[in-house]
Amino acid sequence: MTTNPLLCVTVTAPTTAELRRRRDLITEADIVELRIDSVDDPDVAAALDGRRLPVIVTCRAGWEGGGFQGSEEERRRLLHQALDLGADYVDVEWRADFSDLVSRDGGRRIVLSSHDFAGVPADLDERARAMRSTGAAVIKIAVKANRLSDCLTLLDLSRTFGEEQRAVLIAMGEAGLTTRILAQRFGSAWTYAGGVLDVGQVGARKLLEQFRFRSIDANTAVYGLVGLPVAHSVSPAMHNAAFGAAGLNAVYLPLPAADVDDFVAFARGFGLKGASVTIPYKVPLMERVQQVDPVARQVGALNTLKMDGEVWSGRNTDVSGFLQPLRDRHVTVRGKRAAILGAGGSARAVAVALASEGATVAVYARDVEKARDVASLVGGTAATLPPASDSWDLLVNCTPLGMHPRINQSPLAASAVTRGLVYDLVYNPAVTRLMRDAATAGADTIGGLDMLVAQAREQFEWWTGVSSPASVMRAAASRRLSEFNSDEDHLV
C-alpha cells in the first residue's frame, strides 16, 4: 500500500444542529464521520447540508456499540437517504441485514464495518473474506486489543488487501494505539480521530501535532515507551517534539505491554528501533538484551533499549540524567554526605550515580531491608525514614511523595529540612512542597524536570546519533504536564 491514510474526524453531538456546528469547526480533517446515531433527532438532510468536507454517515445500531434508538427499518431508510443526498460514504455494519444498501451501487461509497469490543475474533480471516466478497468499497474491521501484539494480527491481515478494495483496520483500546498512528503500515484508507475515548480514539490535534501523523510513511522509524501504565507519561511528548525539531522521520509511541513477551513480540513485529523502559519492565527486560552496559548492570535495571536488527542493547540513562543537573550547576558531590529517601528503582540509579562521583551514601526507606538492599549496591548505610536533620549535605527524594495530585505531601517535615541541597526527583509539580520548605530554610533546590529531560536527551542521542534539542524537549514536557494537570488531554 503506498497511499497515505486520510484523517477522519468523528463527530458526535446531542442534536443535529449541534452536530452540524461541530462538523463545521473541523478544519484539519480530510473527511468527517457524522455519527447520526448520537443525536436525539436524526435528520440526514440537515446533517449533510452545507458540508465543506467529504463525509461518512454512520448510524450505528445499539447491538454494534452505537446509540441509535429507532428500528432497523428506520436506520436503513436514513442510510439510503444519505446515499441519495450524495454522502461520500455510509457505514453499514456487516452483521446488519442491509445487503440492498451494499449492493445498490455495486458497493461504491460503502464502508462495511465489523466491531469486536472484547478482543480479536477467532474467525477474523474468514470474517474479512466474507466482508470483502460483498464488494464494499472499504472494509472496516475494529477489534479490541488486549495486548500490544494483537496489533500484529491486524498487520498480517492488512497484507491480504490489494489496492482495489481498501481497508481500515483498527485495534481499539490503549494497546491498539499503534494501529491509529501507524495507519499507513496497516494499509488503512484513513484513521479515525476524535473524542470517542472509550474505544481509544485520540484527538486530531494530538495526532497531528504530537505524533506528526501526516509525515508518517513506510520509512518512519518507530520508538516507544514500554511500561504499564504509560498513558500519563511525558516521554512521547518530549521525544516526538525532538524528532520533529531535528527533522527526523521517526515517531515515539506509548506501548502499554501486558507482559515482557508481549513487548518483545511487538517490537520484533514492528521492527522497533528503540524504547524507553519504565515500571514494571526495567528489571525483567535485562534478560532479553544481548548487550547491557556496566552502569545498567550495576544498578540492576535498564531504562533504555536500542535495537539493531536482532541485537538489543540496554542502558540506564537515569544515572547520568541524575548527575547532569548537578554538573550544570557546578555542584561538587565528592566528599558530600548524601541522603537518599526511598529505595525503589530511581533510588538505585541515584545511589550508583552519587557513589560514582565520590559522595557518601545513606539510604532511608520505610522498610529498612529495602534501604539495605539499595545501600549495598554502593557500600552505603541504611536506616528507616526520616534522616536526622543535620546528617546530610545533599538530600534526594526518590519517593513519589509530593507528586500530583497529592501535592501537599512531603517525605520530610518542614522543620527537618535544613540548609544544603535538596534534589527532588518528583517533576510534577515543577516545584514540590519539599522544595518550597527547603527554599524557606535557605537550602538550594533542584526539581525532577531537569533530570527527566537530561535522561531523555541521552536516550535520543544514543538512538539517533543527533544532538538533542534540549529547550524543545523541556518545553514539550512542561506543556504535557500542564495539559495533564488541567485534563486538557481529554479534549479533542
- Residues of this chain that interact with ligand NAP (CB under 6 A) are 279, 318, 321, 342-347, 365-367, 370, 385, 398-401, 403, 425-427, 448, 451-452, 455
User: Of the two residues 64 and 450, which places its CB atom closer to ligand NAP in the complex?
Assistant: 450
445 near 462, Cβ under 8 Å?
A: no
Secondary structure, 3-state, the chain: CCCCCEEEEEECCCCHHHHHHHHHHCCCCCEEEEEHHHCCCCCHHHHHCCCCCCEEEECCEHHHCCCECCCHHHHHHHHHHHHHCCCCEEEEECCCCCHHHHHCCCCCCEEEEEEECCCCCCCHHHHHHHHHCCCCCEEEEEEECCCCCHHHHHHHHHCCCCCCCEEEEEEECHHHHHHHHCCCCCCECEEEEECCHHHCCCCHHHHHHHCCHHHCCCCCEEEEEEECCCCCCCHHHHHHHHHHHCCCCEEEEEEECCCHHHHHHHHHHHCCCEEEECCCCCCHHHHHCCEECHHHHHHCCCCEEEEECCEEEEECHHHHHHHHHHHHCCCCCCCCEEEEECCCHHHHHHHHHHHHCCCEEEEEECCHHHHHHHHCCCCCEEEECCCCCCCCCEEEECCCCCCCCCCCCCCCCHHHCCCCEEEECCCCCCCCHHHHHHHHCCCEEECHHHHHHHHHHHHHHHHHCCCCCHHHHHHHHHHHHHHHHHCHHHCC
User: Of the two residues 181 and 299, which places its CB atom closer to ligand NAP in the complex?
Assistant: 299
Query: Smallest gap, in angstroms, from Cβ of residue 123 to ligand NAP?
Result: 42
376 vs 370: CA distance, rounded Å: 10
Cell numbers of 77, please? 431508510
Query: Smallest gap, in angstroms, from Cβ of residue 373 to ligand NAP?
Result: 10
User: Of the two residues 188 and 410, which places its CB atom closer to ligand NAP in the complex?
Assistant: 410
304-308/311-315 β-pairing: antiparallel
User: Of the two residues 141 and 421, which places its CB atom closer to ligand NAP in the complex?
Assistant: 421
Query: Smallest gap, in angstroms, from Cβ of residue 28 to ligand NAP?
Result: 33
Query: Smallest gap, in angstroms, from Cβ of residue 155 to ligand NAP?
Result: 32
Beta bridge partners, 141, equal 114, 169
170 vs 128: CA distance, rounded Å: 13
User: Of the two residues 153 and 455, which places its CB atom closer to ligand NAP in the complex?
Assistant: 455
Active site residues: 282
Query: Smallest gap, in angstroms, from Cβ of residue 344 to ligand NAP?
Result: 2
Query: Smallest gap, in angstroms, from Cβ of residue 62 to ligand NAP?
Result: 42
User: Of the two residues 346 and 418, which places its CB atom closer to ligand NAP in the complex?
Assistant: 346
Query: Smallest gap, in angstroms, from Cβ of residue 384 to ligand NAP?
Result: 10
User: Of the two residues 67 and 344, which places its CB atom closer to ligand NAP in the complex?
Assistant: 344
Query: Smallest gap, in angstroms, from Cβ of residue 434 to ligand NAP?
Result: 11
Residue nearest to ligand NAP (CB): 344
19 near 47, Cβ under 8 Å?
A: yes
User: Of the two residues 356 and 409, which places its CB atom closer to ligand NAP in the complex?
Assistant: 409
User: Of the two residues 347 and 354, which places its CB atom closer to ligand NAP in the complex?
Assistant: 347
145 near 256, Cβ under 8 Å?
A: no
Query: Smallest gap, in angstroms, from Cβ of residue 342 to ligand NAP?
Result: 4
